[in-house]
Chain A
Amino acid sequence: MNALNIQQGASSHSAYDLRDPNSQVEERHTLAVLVENEPGVLARVIGLFSGRGYNIDSLTVAEVDHTGHQSRITMVTSGTPAVIEQIKAQLGRIVPVHEVHDLTVEGASVERELGLFKVCGQGDKRVEALRIAEIFRANVVDSTLESFVFELVGTPSKLDAFADLMRPLGLKELARTGVAAIARGV
């Protein structure tokens, strides 16, 4: 019948109709979820992911509007297009969730993560660590005669690269905040 020539899987529900909804290719998406800052809201979001078997690659949360009782959760998740759509729909039906934005498809966005790297060593290795830190524009936020703590802000891949270089130079401990992200422009 298909007289209207409706594409299989196209729907007004979907924000982007052109992707193949049945694709089995896993995609990485960064979601910004604005939530009512009330007890248990983070547990609801995390419980949704564990209960329905979705992935969380990283998650950050903090209050962003004190008077409006609003917190922002930035999460990086991965899944097939159908799973990503389902994640967004499921997040949207949590009562204290106000808005769900898929930064990966809603235009250009900026992603940043902060990492603290404890690098221990002496002699050449210590000098080399300091030199590489300068190249990466990392700050030294703590120093002893045997160690540095570097602070580095950047994309997750920049932090990955820095960690890879620091590992042979005595990287002992690493703390990462997870991704915070925001859309470019107004």
Chain B
Amino acid sequence: MSRTMTGARMVVEALRDQGVDTVFGYPGGAVLPIYDELFQQNDITHVLVRHEQGAVHMAEGYARSTGKPGVVLVTSGPGATNAVTGLTDALMDSIPIIVLSGQVPTFLIGTDGFQEADTVGITRPCTKHNWLVRDTAKLSETIHKAFHVATSGRPGPVLVDIPKDVQFAEDEYRGLKQIEPARYQPARKGDVTAITQLAELIEKAERPILYTGGGVINSGPGASQLLRELADATNIPVTSTLMGLGAYPASGRNWIGMLGMHGLYEANLAMHDCDLMINIGARFDDRITGRVADFSPGSIKAHIDIDPSSINKVIHVDIAITGDVGHVLEDLLKIWKSRGRKTNSAAIGKWWEKIEGWKSKNCLAYKNSDTIIKPQYALQRLQALTADRDRYVTTEVGQHQMWAAQFLHFNEPNRWMTSGGLGTMGYGLPASVGVQMAHRDSLVINVAGEASWLMNMQEMGTAVQFRLPVKQFILNNERLGMVRQWQQLLHGERYSQSWSDSLPDFVKLAEAFGCKGAQVQDPKDLDDAIRQMIEYDGPFILDVLVEKHENCFPMIPSGKPHNEMLLGDASTEGAIQGAGAALV
């Protein structure tokens, strides 16, 4: 069989060889040959989005819920520039994405041709790597290389820019077996000496804590299993970043909740007071550390990360282990077991007593109401009514996101998709579409705020077109809630531009899109409304009118250490001052 074919066919052939079943994209002049090839095959489903930003977030949702890379196809110029936010989002959250972009023909590059943009230049800082393919002979190999780079080491987004003449020209296709092994091979195994040191520390530690992050989930389901085994065997408490929720089950014995700016009191205090901090696949983000100088002052810190640049970037650690979380945890467990499975159990027992004391503060308490739906209550009911299902949750960005992280419980990895690093409003709706494409029969809910949701609401059209029963659970406070909260705490209650005026009628909007919507504002009707949303066979928008001025607590004000957390409205007077005000 001749393997000579056009560049456009090579693209489809390479995607097929890579096991791709779904591509999210939008056609345009510079990718027409590839769309022509897609038309003539049935192995790959193309999801027609409404905006290229949506395509990338869908691919992110697909990737995060499956562990496989997400694939995006866009045209040159505006098609590529619209993908930039999604690429940056995927870079910050380490999500493997392959974006294929059309480009003007090679002989027009540099002439300011129609729909020309310097796509590799624009996306260089927001991709893990990118390529401009000037020669059809190199196209198939470059696409295979792109998949390798996106998924190896610390995952991330890549982009392959393909000029239109390269798509038309013919050359030899090179399959996976015909290409040279890639030079890019990040180490996966951790240093055994350092791992042994860590095992020794685990044996002696009196107040240890496992601080886990998205790296556990990116490492695959095996890593989550090993984390569970480690925590259960050592009785060490487990906290997680926003990105790592579900790696250790919320129903697990050692779970003490999410940490960070809006994390749980007990988790943050345990981080502050621990004597051994084991960071597993997290990166000491500023949402986690608070004031760096006062971060967990008395602890020995160990850091397991596949990316050497994450180590000692923000917090200097005592034991650095560069490697894949799964491999390192496997070695750590093996070494710790072979040394006799020792822990300082008496001291850890006391440590747990202290943590139970912090837990009794009940830091998520809020004042409920008979007349107005509190956003926390809405999420508690959503949790209660969906707990028995295999449920996938995406979110937008803001207060609702933090409340969702606090009140929804995740017992498995890959069930929670949220824009953590970049904080991209408009992420959740397209991400929910991408998740549902990968899990057609599962319950997929986007917990949203009305302002975020409007940013990419055009993707409801995609959900309807592909009969994806995504549930849009909008906590509508007619405010940019998190902005409003900061203005209240930080800017003298001057609420500059932080309200949502002229909102659409979400029920009518649902009808206009050809799906179903409902509005609920009485707490008594909430359960029925949630049930109606879940049971409806199709996309659904539930407009939950909630308390407009609820603040998200607990909160570590910017520039403060973990042990100066705010627990409720009473303690907010003058909470953020001086240098802290300059932080975000």
Seen from chain A, the residues whose Cβ lies within 8 Å of a Cβ on chain B are: 1-4, 6-14, 21-22, 36, 39-40, 43-44, 47, 51, 82, 85-86, 89-90, 92-96, 98
5 CB-based A-B contacts, threshold 8 Å: A6-B197, A13-B320, A86-B312, A93-B154, A95-B128
Q: Which residues of B contact A92 (CB under 8 A)?
A: 308-309
* Cβ of B334 under 8 Å from chain A: no
Question: Beta-carbon contacts of B296-315 to A below 8 Å, as 1s and 0s?
Answer: 00001000000111011100
Cβ-defined partner of B312 (8 Å) among A3, A13, A47: A13
Q: Which of B200-208, B375-383, B476-484 contacts A (4 or more CB under 8 A)?
A: B200-208
Q: How far is the CA of A44 from the CA of B124 in the complex (A)?
A: 7
Would A6 and B318 count as touching, CB distance under 8 A? Answer: yes
- Majority secondary structure of chain B interface residues (helix, strand, loop or mixed): mixed
Q: How far is the CA of A22 from the CA of B317 in the complex (A)?
A: 11
Would B308 and A8 count as touching, CB distance under 8 A? Answer: no
Question: Beta-carbon contacts of B393-424 to A below 8 Å, as 1s and 0s?
Answer: 00000000000000000000000000000000
Would B320 and A12 count as touching, CB distance under 8 A? Answer: yes
Per the CB 8 Å criterion, the residue count for chain B at the interface is 37
Would B316 and A9 count as touching, CB distance under 8 A? Answer: yes
Cβ-defined partner of A21 (8 Å) among B130, B309, B316: B316
Would A2 and B320 count as touching, CB distance under 8 A? Answer: no
Would B205 and A1 count as touching, CB distance under 8 A? Answer: yes
- Majority secondary structure of chain A interface residues (helix, strand, loop or mixed): loop
Would B316 and A12 count as touching, CB distance under 8 A? Answer: no
Would A10 and B318 count as touching, CB distance under 8 A? Answer: yes
Q: Which residues of A contact B128 (CB under 8 A)?
A: 95
* Cβ of B19 under 8 Å from chain A: no
Closest to A98 in B: B183
Q: Which residues of B contact A95 (CB under 8 A)?
A: 128-129, 149, 184
Interface residues of B in 192-247 (CB under 8 A from A): 193-194, 197, 200-201, 204-206
Question: Beta-carbon contacts of B99-142 to A below 8 Å, as 1s and 0s?
Answer: 00000000000000000000011001100111010000000000
* Cβ of B275 under 8 Å from chain A: yes
Would B275 and A1 count as touching, CB distance under 8 A? Answer: yes
Given the interface pairs A4-B200, A12-B191, the reply to whether A82 lies near B309 with Cβ below 8 Å is: no
Q: Which residues of B contact A82 (CB under 8 A)?
A: 312, 316
Would A8 and B316 count as touching, CB distance under 8 A? Answer: yes
Given contacts A4-B197, A93-B307, 18 further A-B contacts (CB under 8 A): A1-B275, A3-B204, A6-B197, A10-B318, A11-B318, A12-B191, A13-B311, A14-B312, A22-B316, A36-B183, A40-B121, A47-B125, A51-B125, A86-B309, A86-B313, A89-B313, A94-B129, A98-B183
